[in-house]
Amino acid sequence: MKIENSVVLITGANRGIGLAFARALLARGARKVYAAARNPESVTLPGVEALQLDVTQPEEIAAAVQRASDVTLVINNAGIAQPGGFLALDSETVTRRIFDTNFFGVLNMSKAFAPVLKTNGGGALLNVLSVASWVNGGELAAYSASKSAAWSLTNALRHELAAQKTQVLGLHMAYVDTDLTRGFEVPKSSAEEIVQRALDALEAGADEVLADVLTQQIRQGLTAPRPVYLPQGNGA
């Protein structure tokens, strides 16, 4: 898909990867960028149209469809995380809350905007996923599970939307220097690096992009004699 002259809607566009997407899309010649956030006043980037959108609220999604009926690219970026494993006392509550945004938010946005994309020539859907789609060590158990589900959703949508010529791109990455990874003392990519690789892949017509070295290594490790998603090391 060509970015120049496109009309884009980005969820979670007020900071982090979403904000980096908005900046990069404007720089690449997008005609219009709807920068969606729960609080539109938090969107301060010049040149975008702030849009109130909580992806867990069906009425706000419906309102976004009415306002952004000219969209040709939807970027499902909004996401939340919380540390903790599935054996924690509050794990059901945490998991439902995270799935509401990270899975059902993507599902409902994709369903709502699929007819818009079809009307506007097909366009594209870009879902922000994670290396956590493939590995879950329990530290971010619900987040990882939600991204695994979102990966499967993305793969299904690619098949379902093919007939209307909508490109579906899954973006996988490891640690990115955003609020979401604050406190993690690990090597991190910049949001700008990840976004540039994602947009290059989008314009190349790709289905998936593995946006950093660790993600590429983890993906290769899925087919190792002892796959990377299993416990590694002594006693494994």
User: Per DSSP, what are the bridge partners of residue 10?
Assistant: 35, 75
Per the CB < 8 A criterion, the answer to whether 40 and 66 are in contact is no
The pLDDT tens digits of the residues spanning 3-39 come to: 999 999 999 999 999 999 999 999 999 999 999 999 9
Question: What is residue 234's predicted lDDT score, i.e. its pLDDT?
Answer: 58
Question: What is residue 236's predicted lDDT score, i.e. its pLDDT?
Answer: 43
The pLDDT tens digits of the residues spanning 41-86 come to: 999 999 999 999 999 999 999 999 999 999 999 999 999 999 999 9
Please name each of the domains of the chain with its CATH number. Answer: 7-221 (3.40.50.720)
Handedness of CA 157, 159, 164, 165 (dihedral sign): positive
Question: What is residue 47's predicted lDDT score, i.e. its pLDDT?
Answer: 97
Per-position b or e across 20-52, b if 16+ CB within 10 A of its CB: bbbbbbbeeebebbbbbbbeeeebeeeebebbb
Q: 118, 143, 175, 188: which is the annotated catalytic residue?
A: 143
Specify the length of the chain in residues: 236
Q: Is the pLDDT of residue 159 over 70?
A: yes
Q: Is the pLDDT of residue 108 over 80?
A: yes
The pLDDT tens digits of the residues spanning 117-152 come to: 999 999 999 999 999 999 999 999 999 999 999 999
Query: How far is it, in rounded angstroms, from Cα 205 to Cα 154?
Result: 15
Q: Any idea of the CA torsion for 66, 203, 155, 188, to the nearest 10 degrees?
A: -100
Q: Tell me the pLDDT band of 175, cut-offs 50, 70 and 90.
A: confident
Q: Largest Cα–Cα distance of the chain, in whole Å?
A: 56
Query: How far is it, in rounded angstroms, from Cα 120 to Cα 170?
Result: 21
Q: 32, 34, 147, 175: which is the annotated catalytic residue?
A: 147
For the beta sheet containing 49-52, the strands, ordered from the edge strand earlier in sequence to the opposite edge, are 49-52, 32-37, 7-10, 73-76, 124-128, 167-172, 208-210
Residue 175 is among the residues annotated as catalytic for this protein: no
Question: What is residue 178's predicted lDDT score, i.e. its pLDDT?
Answer: 72
User: Per DSSP, what are the bridge partners of residue 210?
Assistant: 172
DSSP 214: H
